[in-house]
A = this chain, B = another copy of it.
């Protein structure tokens, strides 16, 4: 991808809003902050705007406190640069982007991008938008200082799952190497992004592992989180994220489920598959949805009834295949 076209923008315009999607992850925040700092170094007026709270785990990012939600009638810029957002709705400005700026630049690596920008730099061969920002800075001859390096490093390791996912390329590994040379400490960033756990979440994990059941010749594994476990451990809803992988990663398991007891006699059901089962079909059967290998739904009823229903449906699929 040729990022040099971006150069003309900087000759022509002086004020920029740089934004990304709500529920921002490491790539959204890392790329917004890196590009903001870079364009400021270039002498531009830049507002980093994200219409949501910055999650606690990313508050170590340099200049993170500058990111804030949009203030109507106050925030204006000639150009809005939208990062890592497949469609404009996920930015949650709740108005036409052209009411805020003259020009929309859309930089993204999602294949499903709706090409909503006046300029669209969209290419799914990049591991992360952080990687795209790296090449953008190179094209603009903006030097990468330590703070920018920390942000780009965070972008890339978040989106590649610490170089474990299939989007890990020689290019992004070499960028990580360069960023470490600029002073980034891999163990410090990794600890912030992947490791730090609360004692409460570890105690909840212990409780939830105690409910693990495996059936159907080891192909189906499920776990249960009750309201009582949440209360006694003091864990938070977000602490449950990723627990389902303990069931999914067991050798031989194809479908993993986590049942989370909610208020008002409802149960939230998380579904994962490893290789061939399309769990989105199971989720849809109960009014939910998702992807083939990761889906979910919420079902009314007491826990044992919901488990009965969902397990019966999955056992049927595992035996008969899909219709």
Contact = CB atoms under 8 A, between A and B. Distances in A.
A163 interface: yes
A157 B166 contact: no
A219 to B, nearest CB: 12
A187 B165 contact: yes
Contacts of A245: 195
Contact of A249 (B168, B169, B195, B218): B195
A181 B172 CA distance: 12
Given A163-B176, A177-B177, A206 B198 contact: no
Q: How many copies does the complex hold?
A: 2
A246 interface: yes
Interface string A148-174: 000000000100101111101111011
B169 A250 contact: no
B168 A186 contact: yes
Contacts of A214: 199
Contact of A190 (B164, B170, B186, B203): B164
A246 B245 CA distance: 15
A205 interface: yes
A121 interface: no
A163 B174 contact: no
A111 B202 CA distance: 33
A138 interface: no
B174 A186 contact: no
A305 interface: no
Nearest to A214: B199
Nearest to A248: B195
A177 B187 contact: no
Contacts of A248: 195
A209 B206 contact: yes
A251 interface: yes
Contacts of A173: 173-174, 176-177, 180
Contact of A164 (B187, B212, B218, B250): B187
A251 B199 contact: yes
B202 A250 contact: yes
A205 B209 contact: yes
A227 interface: no
A316 interface: no
A214 B249 CA distance: 28
28 contacts: A157-B163, A162-B162, A162-B163, A163-B186, A164-B190, A164-B191, A165-B187, A166-B185, A168-B180, A170-B180, A171-B177, A173-B174, A173-B180, A174-B177, A177-B177, A195-B245, A195-B248, A197-B250, A199-B214, A199-B250, A202-B209, A202-B212, A202-B250, A205-B209, A206-B206, A206-B209, A206-B212, A209-B209
